[in-house]
Amino acid sequence: MSKIFLRLFLAGCMTLLLPSSVSAQSEKGEVGRATSIWGDAAASASDLMKAGAASDSSYETRALRLESNWGNFRIVRGAEGLVVGTAGVFRTANVESIVAGSRRAESEARLFRANHRPGSIAVALGAGTFVMGAVAATSSAGSAATPVLMVAGVGGMVWGVRKLNTAYTSLSRAVWWYNRDLVAK
């Protein structure tokens, strides 16, 4: 029986002595390779014991949220509220780079971009067309084009707002997935 324990001990020692490689997630979400050697064993054990606390602080410092800013959204990171980007009708940050490292968040960020641009353009064109129609209505009485312009403008704005709503839902999901994957790390 004591031989078995001795062999167990020896086997354990051999495993620790063998250079083992572990996958490590870098800050940018890229999978890098780190080599564990005998000398680092004690330190890595201590690091693992601190892992729970580290994931808490990771969420606290890196998790994203959306805050309102006069019709735009600010993408804010961490408890301290560092603004990392804005998302509005006419200008928006590259959300894919902000949520990089989380596959599903990146996918939602792509959906956000795909819906946001046509939505913004439709709202801008719709508003412009509506204003043109309104101006024509006040200046030239009886013009047949004015109601058409106004209706087309409203239609464009409605379609654009729908696209923007879909885009912001994707943005919210991207943030949700990014934060979720922070918890998983």
Partner 1 sequence: MPRILLAFCIGTCVLLGGTGTMEGQEQHGVPEYDARALRVENREGDRVVVRGRDGLVLGKIGGLRGGVDLANVVAPSENAVREARDFSKRARRGNWAMTVGLTAISVWLLTARIHDMDPAVATAVDAAYAGGLVLAVYGAVQLNRANTALGRSIWWYNRDLAR
114 touches partner 1 (CB under 8 A):
no
From CA 102, how far away is CA 97, in angstroms rounded?
Answer: 10
From CA 58, how far away is CA 179, in angstroms rounded?
Answer: 10
109 touches partner 1 (CB under 8 A):
no
For residues 157 and 126, the answer to whether their CB atoms sit within 8 Å is yes
Which is nearer to partner 1, 90 or 148 (by Cβ)? Answer: 90
Q: How far is the CB of 123 from partner 1 (least distance, A)?
A: 15
Among 43, 50, 56, 83, binds partner 1 (CB under 8 A): 56
Interacting stretch for partner 1, rule CB under 8 A, among 91-99, 118-126, 130-138, 176-184? 176-184
96: tokens are: 């894919």
145: tokens are: 């084009």
Among 32, 37, 50, 67, binds partner 1 (CB under 8 A): 67
* Alpha helices by DSSP H, 1-92: 2-17, 41-49, 51-62
Using DSSP's 3-state secondary structure scheme, residue 65 falls into strand
Determine if residue 15 is left, alpha or beta; phi over 0 gives left, psi from -120 to 50 gives alpha, anything else beta: alpha
Question: Which x/- pattern over 15-54 shows residues binding partner 1 (rule: CB under 8 A)?
Answer: xx------x--------------------xx--x--x---
Binding footprint of partner 1 on the chain (CB under 8 A): 3-4, 7-12, 14-16, 23, 44-45, 48, 51, 55-56, 59-60, 63, 65-70, 76, 79, 165-166, 168-169, 172-173, 175-176, 179-180, 182-184
